[in-house]
């Protein structure tokens, strides 16, 4: 409850993920997103050494209403602006799973195909601008995506070098140039269409740049703001003036706090707090 700042419920996963563990590869929830009307939550659940699932949670009854197969390590979950599709970005299988959420979402006024039925997997789309060589050991994989409201395309950054612009309806994509030259994770869009991308730091310190926040304008021009240490994810303020970047990085170098970035000036401010914060949401 965001008014009282109290936890009101815990919803157990239906997916079996093995013993409770810690670290980047532990089983359990990863990406999470809400339907636009707030009536359903979608959670990507990691299953160690196997493909993950998407669990659909009814936020009124606090029950899991569907479990669908997705790719390995579902880092991110995103919802189309009309609620009619859900997108799951699976890091270790180089893919995005497109899901039709079914009758519950259509019945609540969201979009959809109108063909009735339960939630279902519609298609899987490979997203691998560098190819899939290296498999599970590769660093060149999709991490997080942002949904562009103007056309519903998914924007997936890679290595501060390439931005995949994916049409989830057709599976076709284009690759745009990026400039930060750093390993990239979290993404977000501001209300005026600027893409924010978190750079976590170099894969090869001899060639790559350090941690940063890329601010990419709708016309493709970019500003790169250096960050003090690795960060993981980002969210924008409702007025589009500030980015909040979490320092609870999934690997070594994490810290307890958030960096606030003034998107007009590029100035940064450190906000200590929390324990290894990874995800973040800004409430209006």
**Tens of pLDDT along 234-276?**
999 999 999 999 999 989 999 999 999 999 999 999 999 999 9
**Tens of pLDDT along 261-272?**
999 999 999 999
Residue 262 covered by a domain = yes
Residue 284 covered by a domain = no
Specify the number of domains making up the chain.
Answer: 1
**Tens of pLDDT along 19-37?**
988 888 999 999 999 999 9
Tokens of 75: 């880092």
Cα angle value 111/142/166 (rounded, 5°): 45
Residue 202 covered by a domain = yes
- Contact yes or no for 53/67 (Cβ under 8 A): yes
Domain that holds residue 267: 76-272
Residue 67 covered by a domain = no
Residue 68 has pLDDT above 70, yes or no: yes
Residue 154 covered by a domain = yes
Find the CATH number of the domain harbouring 201: 2.130.10.10
Residue 144 covered by a domain = yes
Q: In the beta sheet, which residues pair with residue 154?
A: 147, 166
Residue 183 covered by a domain = yes
Burial of 86 (0-12, 13-18, 19+ CB in 10 A): buried
Residue 159 covered by a domain = yes
Nearest residue to 97 (alpha-carbon basis) of 157, 50, 142, 131: 142
């Amino acid at each position: 409850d965001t008014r009282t700042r109290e936890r009101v419920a815990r919803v157990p996963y239906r997916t079996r993920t093995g013993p409770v563990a810690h670290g980047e590869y532990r089983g359990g929830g990863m990406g999470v997103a809400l339907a636009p009307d707030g009536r359903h939550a979608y959670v990507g659940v990691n299953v160690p050494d196997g493909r993950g699932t998407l669990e659909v949670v009814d936020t009124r009854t606090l029950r899991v209403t569907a479990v669908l197969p997705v790719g390995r390590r579902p880092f991110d979950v995103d919802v189309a602006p009309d609620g009619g599709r859900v997108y799951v970005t699976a890091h270790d299988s180089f893919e995005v799973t497109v899901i039709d959420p079914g009758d519950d979402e259509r019945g609540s006024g969201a979009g959809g195909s109108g063909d009735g039925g339960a939630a279902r997997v519609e298609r899987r789309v490979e997203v691998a601008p560098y190819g899939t060589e290296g498999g599970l050991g590769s660093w060149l994989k999709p991490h997080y995506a942002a949904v562009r409201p103007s056309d519903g395309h998914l924007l997936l950054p890679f290595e501060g070098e390439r931005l995949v612009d994916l049409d989830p309806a057709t599976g076709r994509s284009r690759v745009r140039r990026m400039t930060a030259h750093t390993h990239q994770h979290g993404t977000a869009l501001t209300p005026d269409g600027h893409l924010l991308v978190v750079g976590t730091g170099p894969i090869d310190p001899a060639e790559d740049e350090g941690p940063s926040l890329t601010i990419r304008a709708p016309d493709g021009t970019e500003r790169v703001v250096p960050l003090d240490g690795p960060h993981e994810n980002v969210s924008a303020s409702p007025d589009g003036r500030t980015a909040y970047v979490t320092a609870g990085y999934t690997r070594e170098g994490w810290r307890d706090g958030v960096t606030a970035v003034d998107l007009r000036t590029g100035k940064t401010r450190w906000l200590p707090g929390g324990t290894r914060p990874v995800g973040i949401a800004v409430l209006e």
